[in-house]
């Protein structure tokens, strides 16, 4: 994932909003999403974000002016099939990235025709950016794992396997939803505090609803069943990254998770951002992967010189909350915390390699959740469970409202961006959802 001409910070776009201060989608980004005009019955197609616009790749494909190789890559995207391009690997992505950037850069001979292929992002609706047949949620945030572990095991917060194996569980792809989709508070079984041992559990709406700040990595190239992906080849099987909110019903989770792990507490809805930022766009923001002094080094199958040199990513992460009362008063969402993905205990390459080491086959579009990304400092918890000490220490919002867990009408926004001296800032777009009452 080398730096090349597409990362040149001096390069600009004829789409003026791509140069706006703090813009998520400059010409150095070009993430993919599945779009159509809001409220229409138009076919879904893939678009590329540029500034506050979307380049409609169905229209762009018809506009012509592309090489035969690029035209072949645009054909499935015009039909809304991002998975077909994901399956082709990084070489095809680089060809497409270079061609799209050439068409969108200042002075492009294609400006006049491609300008007719733009749609304002405010005028489109999104679906999931690709078809996700399977997803796995990992637990790579060591600061989250430690903070949560302390709530239940103060003297031994991390279980013995945590620093040796990337912990994960298989999720439910059918309940993945795109940003902007409302989430209904789930019903389920739970034990109220003080319930006598052996008494029947209660049933009803979740009382401890929470969010989880995560990244989701999307698989590109598939591997065959029975054929593990070595760590040195893992990134060739990764397409890109988006934001991921794994909504969690903490009271249901506490009652049901033993002995087999998460179930109904997790599968009532998980929200992804509409855009996938490609691995190529993230290349300038790589950094060395290191372990704290005294911690064990990964086993050989999870270790490589390339992963040590540049397997981690410098991605800023933030959670914002807007209550119903704030919305009615016209008050914007407020930031609750901020952390960085560089603090993840495992890299994306390690997650993919471990997932396949037993021969498990991954397919284009499969989603790998990172687990909650908390920071090392107080106030950097990636969930309300951490920020409120398990619900015992309410947080006070600027308007005087307090929260231990989410209430109906609350809207949660996840944001992420990368910025480094000598580069152009890129962002991921929002990942948002509002809580509706239980059915």
Pairwise CA distance, residues 190 & 4, whole Å = 53
- Catalytic positions: 144
**Does 157 share its domain with 62?**
no
Mean pLDDT is lowest, of 93-97, 255-259, 333-337, 400-404, for: 255-259
Pairwise CA distance, residues 35 & 117, whole Å = 13
| Confidence band of 154 (pLDDT split at 50, 70, 90) | confident
**Does 348 share its domain with 400?**
yes
Cβ proximity of 376 and 343 under 8 Å: yes
What mean pLDDT value characterizes the chain?
97
What was the pLDDT predicted at 59?
Answer: 98
| Confidence band of 155 (pLDDT split at 50, 70, 90) | confident
What was the pLDDT predicted at 152?
Answer: 83
Assign residue 74 the CATH number of its domain. 2.30.30.230
pLDDT tens readout for residues 36-88: 999 999 999 999 999 999 999 999 999 999 999 999 999 999 999 999 999 99
Q: Is the pLDDT of residue 128 over 80?
A: yes
**Does 81 share its domain with 155?**
no
Structural domain boundaries, residue 188: 135-436
**Does 55 share its domain with 156?**
no
Q: Domain ends where: 126, 150, 177? A: 126
Look at residues 248, 257, 246 and name the one whose alpha carbon lies nearest to residue 191. 257
**Does 122 share its domain with 221?**
no
What was the pLDDT predicted at 182?
Answer: 98
Bridge partners (DSSP) of residue 217 are 241, 368
**Structure-token match 């911690």, residue found:** 295
What was the pLDDT predicted at 412?
Answer: 98
How many distinct structural domains can be found in the chain? 2
Section 13-27 average pLDDT: 97
**Structure-token match 């690997």, residue found:** 89
**Does 30 share its domain with 165?**
no
Q: Domain ends where: 67, 94, 126? A: 126
Backbone CA torsion sign across 270, 187, 170, 257: positive
């Amino acid at each position: 994932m080398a730096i090349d001409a597409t990362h040149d910070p001096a390069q600009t776009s004829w789409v003026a909003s791509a140069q706006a201060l703090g813009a998520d989608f400059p010409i150095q980004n070009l993430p993919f999403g599945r779009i159509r005009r809001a409220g229409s019955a138009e076919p879904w197609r893939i678009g590329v974000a540029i500034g506050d616009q979307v380049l409609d790749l169905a229209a762009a494909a018809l506009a012509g002016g592309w090489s035969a190789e690029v035209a072949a890559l645009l054909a499935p995207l015009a039909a809304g099939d991002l998975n077909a391009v994901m399956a082709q690997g990084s070489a095809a992505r680089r060809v497409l990235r270079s061609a799209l950037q050439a068409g969108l850069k200042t002075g492009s001979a294609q400006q006049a025709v491609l300008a007719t292929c733009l749609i304002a992002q405010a005028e489109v609706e999104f679906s999931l950016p690709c078809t996700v047949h399977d997803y796995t949620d990992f637990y790579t945030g060591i600061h989250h794992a430690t903070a949560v572990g302390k709530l239940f095991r103060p003297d031994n917060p991390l279980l013995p396997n945590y620093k040796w194996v990337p912990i994960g569980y298989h999720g439910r792809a059918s309940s993945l939803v795109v940003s902007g989709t409302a989430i209904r508070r789930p019903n389920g079984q739970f034990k109220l505090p003080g319930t006598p041992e052996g008494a029947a559990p209660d049933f009803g709406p979740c009382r401890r609803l929470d969010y989880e700040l995560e990244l989701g990595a999307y698989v590109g190239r598939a591997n065959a069943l029975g054929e593990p992906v070595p760590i040195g080849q893992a990134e060739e099987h990764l397409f890109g990254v988006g934001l991921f909110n794994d909504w969690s019903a903490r009271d249901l989770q506490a009652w049901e998770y033993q002995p087999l792990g998460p179930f109904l507490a997790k599968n009532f809805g998980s929200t992804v951002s509409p855009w996938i930022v490609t691995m190529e766009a993230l290349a300038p923001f790589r950094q060395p992967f290191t372990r704290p002094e005294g911690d064990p080094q990964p086993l050989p199958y999870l270790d490589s010189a390339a992963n040590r040199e540049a397997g981690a990513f410098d991605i800023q992460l933030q959670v914002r909350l807007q209550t119903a009362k704030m919305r009615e008063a016209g008050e914007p969402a407020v930031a609750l915390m901020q952390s960085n993905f560089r603090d993840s205990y495992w890299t994306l390459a390690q997650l993919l390699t471990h997932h396949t080491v037993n021969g498990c086959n991954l397919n284009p579009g499969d989603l790998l959740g990172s687990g909650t990304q908390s920071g090392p400092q107080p106030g950097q918890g990636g969930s309300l469970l951490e920020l409120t000490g398990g619900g015992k220490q309410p947080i006070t919002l600027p308007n005087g409202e307090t929260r231990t867990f989410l209430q109906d009408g609350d809207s949660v926004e996840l944001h992420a961006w990368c910025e480094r001296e000598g580069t152009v800032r890129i962002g991921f777009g929002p990942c948002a959802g509002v809580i509706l009452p239980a059915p």
